[in-house]
Structure 1
Amino acid sequence: MEFDLSAQPEIVQQAAEYSLIVWELAKSWALSPAAWSQFALLIVAYLLAVLVARRLRGMLTRVLTPPTGSETMLSQTRRTLLLGLPLLLPLLAYGFTAIGESVVRSLFDSGAVIAFGKRLFLFLAVRTLVREIISDPLLKLLGRYVLLPVAALYAVGLLDPLAAKMNEMTVTLGNISFSVMALVRGVIAGGILFWLGGWSTRQTSQFIEAQEEMRPSLRQLTAKTIEFAIFTVAFLLLLNIMGINLSALAVIGGAVGVGLGFGLQKIASNFISGVILLIEGQATVGDYVELDGGEAGQIVKMTARAAILETFDGRWIVVPNEDFITTRVVNYSDSGSANRYEAPFSVSYDTDINRVPPIIEAAVATHPDVLDAPYPPDCELRGFGDSGIDFAVEFWVNGLDDGPNKYTSDVLFLIWNALKDNGIEIPYPHRVVEFKGDLPQVSE
């Protein structure tokens, strides 16, 4: 039966043409003994794959399962391989079908049916990979909307014609020209490359952070340098995959240079200041700093543009890196240096003040966070007050007397208990009132 489709749109005519090709192909397969033998080989290959996968799955599960609680690199690799076990069946079917295809082609000089079955098993492997194994949101999105359609087109034999058509379509941006196929390759390769870049950056950062013998600032600088290098290489590889001539980037480089000269001066200044901070190590993550502008807090993160301070009341302050270079910065905890604090107190005038220093110094020294170096606790006489004799004890600790640390409070408790235990009175304010003349009479 023939239909006149000359008046129909071109897409309808092409669809009808492809339908006729598929119909003729299916009819030739149905009437060909070679096609039936290939169908039989496909079934045998699949059943053999089911049998072998069932045997191998249990064995591989026992071999690859790491000990409970183990977090070594080998254990993590074994867990990753365990996630790929669902691919065992379609990949085995693909492999057995490929062997059958070589046999069929040597016997019948034809293997279209079994080649289609092989591509179908590959599509099932890709579908299993996307649906059951990939968990990263970006990769899952690329797999669902790019990889699966590509695998489906390959399975039905339409990938090569479509790729040829897309290679003919070009996109031009200024003096940069590339095909639609290059753009598709760039999307796929870009997603994979930048995911691999992010993963390798995280692994490298964890490894560098574990090197405790390195200065914190040097660890930060090394991690940032490696991150920049990884993504630069990924970007250059992506341009190469897309077929873009790298010399065309000269125009973009010139535009970036002009932007740095005008609108991006602050960004460039903050970036360079951040590099200087990381190299010199004057302020790094974990330090408690105070700037001239009044900003104070612990540095919890240093980025290419700014440092993030966290105050003890939970607020975050974003401070541009340039402020650390151009203004005065007080660092209370650089390189783990100790800080000195003092706790004031008073005793009664009836006290033998020569007994007070050794009693208080011994009591304060019992605090687990009070240091003996650079100086042990030192109790000093500060003056003679209206209600008592004023003392203060100076002590050194690693850390700040704020937030989770309450050093002065703890020391005052120790002073109170030590004075009570030794019978030393702590005075309270009082006044003596003197009346001149007769006292006022109270009438009854």
Structure 2
Amino acid sequence: MAALRTILCFILFWAFTSQTIWAQDENAAPPVTQPSVSEPVTAEEEPALPEQNATQTQSIDLDDPAIKAALEARAAADKALVEAIRLQQEATEENSEANQDPIAEKDSVFPTSGAEIKALGEKVLNKILGWLSSVPFLAQIGAIITAYFLAPIFAGVLKKRLFLFRSEPAKDVKLKAVRDIIYRARNLLRPIFLVALLALFAVVLKNIPIAGQDWLVKLVQGLAVVFLLFSAIKDFAPNDLTRKVATWVLIPLALLMVFGYYDEFKGLLNSTELMAMGGKPITLMTVILLLIFGVIFFKLGNLLNARGQDAIRAQDNLDVTTREVAAKIFQILIFALVFILVLGAAKVPLSGLVVIFSALSLGIGLGLQPIAANFVSGLIILFDRSVKVGDFVMMEGENFGRVRAINMRSTTVATADGKDIIVPNTSFTEGAYENWTHDNPLQRYEVDFGVAYDTDLDALVPIIRDAVLEHPDVLGEPDLPSVEFRSFGDSAINMCVEFWCEGVDDGPNKFTSDVGFIIWRALKAHKIEIPFPQRVVYTKK
């Protein structure tokens, strides 16, 4: 029985050891399949003994030398099998640890000991020495240095040879705006030539068998593109806000393109859906495209609108009002076209305009009523011609001046002292004002003066009338200058002369001032006294 218990213990130990060996983690190497070992023979599985008696079973004598030797040999074999499997498992684990990357097991990518720093330094040094001894790498270095020194030479030659870059355009030159942009672009010639030369050298190196590499040239070319964008933004951005926005948008995009992450970034923007319009998704990329193309197209629209309105206003065969109406219609059409082009460039479905106009209608109903009213009032003013560019108007509050421009929301009135009054268009459709030059440019003015009580008034009237008529701007039609008696004053007889002129007494026209000087000279010439207030003081004794 002791031998039987020993055999059962060996079987349980082998089963537990086998289960422990095969239950390994995912990173461990798969166990090597071992040949199956037959189970130890138990009492139930012992070979049948020769038949003795049908009614009686003969007991097994475990003390038999042959059986005892066989059991001991079986136990020794099982023990040797377990030891061999353990040794094999240990060897497998050691090989797995040796094959793993020691850097990957570290928590930090930076060296934390002197030995690691030394190993990293040797690795970097060997890499640099390998590059310096590599013909493709040295060829790329040579191409970069050559492009760096050739770019300023080519730029200098082009500046001297091409007249567009040689001198600043004059004020009266044709296409001055374009000429100014070309002249200012002379500072970008060096980075442009650097980018072009690097691109050329990259193609050449790629097709030379001894070189065959262009990765470093491509990298430097991308950085040169970033430098070119930075220079263009610095020279052409109109203000600090535009400069900052362009710097923080264009340069990161250029870096993404240089290092090959632009496609992933673009895919991220296209996959970020904000809303749906017309059955199509509106993504973050759509919003960005709307901003970019909106700035570009509206800038071009402003430029085209300014040029078109100048051309329309230069048509002398049309009256001023017709020119202004045509210019305003041209402006509306230009910006409507720009709006549609921006939506098309950003791939926004035009069916979504219904949503946009619905939002605009809601905005007008909630808070944009004054803006919409001023816009409609501007159209009414242009079409009914109640106020035209060039009219002299006087508003409530004693604000007066000449209408210089009628815009979408307001009208600009220029005063005689050089100030501009911005008047909402609704002031001309809802309020009262005076238009001195609405239908007739003729204006009647008057100048007051006084003469002494001993003056012959009958002789005075023709003297003043003939003197005022000598002024070149005083008209004989519709009436001659009229000298009128106004009142008996304390010290003088108050008189007045009324006369007609074409135009308004402001700016270059000084009708009343000139007539005042004429009256002064005429009275002096005829020795007519101009009295001044006198007071007699009596003293009581």
Shorter-chain TM band: 0.7 to 0.9
Distance 1:273 1:141 in 2: 38
So what's the TM-score if we normalise by structure 1? 0.76
The aligned counterpart of 1:45 is: 147
Q: Return the letter of the residue paired with 2:255.
A: A
1:273–1:6 Cα change, 3 Å: farther
2:217 is equivalent to residue 114 of structure 1: yes
The aligned counterpart of 1:172 is: 275
The aligned counterpart of 2:346 is: 242
Whether the aligned pair in 1 keeps the contact of 2:451 and 2:494 (CA below 8 Å) is yes
Query: How many pairs align?
Result: 416
Distance 1:6 1:351 in 2: 118
The aligned counterpart of 1:412 is: 516
Q: Return the letter of the residue paired with 2:162.
A: L
2:225 is equivalent to residue 95 of structure 1: no
1:287 to 366, 391, 397: 391
Secondary structure of 1:343's counterpart equals strand
1:74–1:319 Cα change, 3 Å: closer
Secondary structure of 2:475's counterpart equals coil
The aligned counterpart of 1:439 is: none
2:459 to 343, 355, 373: 355
The aligned counterpart of 2:230 is: 127
Distance 2:440 2:374 in 1: 26
Whether the aligned pair in 2 keeps the contact of 1:61 and 1:82 (CA below 8 Å) is no
The aligned counterpart of 2:103 is: 3
Distance 1:206 1:356 in 2: 53
Task: Give deviations 1:369-388, integer Å, cap 9, x for gaps.
Answer: x3326447513344784777
Q: Return the letter of the residue paired with 1:89.
A: R
Distance 1:319 1:329 in 2: 12
Secondary structure of 2:183's counterpart equals helix
Distance 1:277 1:226 in 2: 16
Q: Return the letter of the residue paired with 2:204.
A: V
Distance 2:304 2:151 in 1: 35
Whether the aligned pair in 2 keeps the contact of 1:344 and 1:392 (CA below 8 Å) is yes
Q: 1:320 deviation in Å?
A: 4.0
1:332 to 428, 436, 440: 436
Secondary structure of 1:334's counterpart equals coil
Task: Give deviations 1:174-209, integer Å, cap 9, x for gaps.
Answer: 777323333333333333333333333344444555
2:481 to 372, 378, 382: 378
Task: Give deviations 1:322-343, integer Å, cap 9, x for gaps.
Answer: 4423555431123771210122
The aligned counterpart of 2:159 is: 57
Distance 2:352 2:523 in 1: 81
Whether the aligned pair in 1 keeps the contact of 2:469 and 2:476 (CA below 8 Å) is no
Q: Which has the higher contact order (CA 8 A, sep 6+)?
A: 1
2:468 to 353, 364, 367: 364
RMSD: 4.0
Task: Give deviations 1:80-104, integer Å, cap 9, x for gaps.
Answer: 2121112212222222333333333
Q: 1:250 deviation in Å?
A: 0.8
2:135 to 33, 44, 47: 33
1:158 to 221, 243, 261: 261
Whether the aligned pair in 1 keeps the contact of 2:277 and 2:349 (CA below 8 Å) is no
Distance 2:362 2:187 in 1: 53
Whether the aligned pair in 1 keeps the contact of 2:468 and 2:474 (CA below 8 Å) is no
Secondary structure of 1:395's counterpart equals strand
Distance 2:540 2:485 in 1: 49
1:331–1:384 Cα change, 3 Å: closer
Distance 2:106 2:365 in 1: 61
Distance 2:477 2:240 in 1: 53
Task: Give deviations 1:354-382, integer Å, cap 9, x for gaps.
Answer: 433332123223445x3326447513344
Whether the aligned pair in 1 keeps the contact of 2:273 and 2:284 (CA below 8 Å) is yes
Task: Give deviations 1:96-124, integer Å, cap 9, x for gaps.
Answer: 33333333333346533333333333222
1:377–1:89 Cα change, 3 Å: same
2:243 is equivalent to residue 140 of structure 1: yes
Distance 1:285 1:35 in 2: 71
Task: Give deviations 1:138-160, integer Å, cap 9, x for gaps.
Answer: 54233211112212222223223
1:127–1:2 Cα change, 3 Å: farther
Q: Identity rate of aligned residues, in percent?
A: 31
Q: Return the letter of the residue paired with 2:410.
A: A
Distance 2:447 2:512 in 1: 6
Whether the aligned pair in 2 keeps the contact of 1:295 and 1:317 (CA below 8 Å) is no
Q: 1:65 deviation in Å?
A: 1.8
Most deviating of 86-95 and 371-380: 371-380
Q: Return the letter of the residue paired with 2:265.
A: L
Whether the aligned pair in 1 keeps the contact of 2:393 and 2:435 (CA below 8 Å) is yes
Secondary structure of 1:304's counterpart equals coil
Most deviating of 198-207 and 270-279: 198-207
Distance 2:181 2:419 in 1: 39
Q: Return the letter of the residue paired with 1:332.
A: W
Distance 1:193 1:283 in 2: 32
Unaligned runs of 5+ in 1: 9-22, 433-441
The aligned counterpart of 2:526 is: 422
1:431–1:37 Cα change, 3 Å: closer
Distance 1:121 1:443 in 2: 103
Most deviating of 388-397 and 378-387: 378-387
Unaligned runs of 5+ in 2: 1-100, 109-123
Distance 1:6 1:443 in 2: 121
1:230–1:389 Cα change, 3 Å: same
Whether the aligned pair in 1 keeps the contact of 2:475 and 2:501 (CA below 8 Å) is no
Distance 2:335 2:173 in 1: 27
1:73 to 174, 179, 182: 174
1:375–1:146 Cα change, 3 Å: same
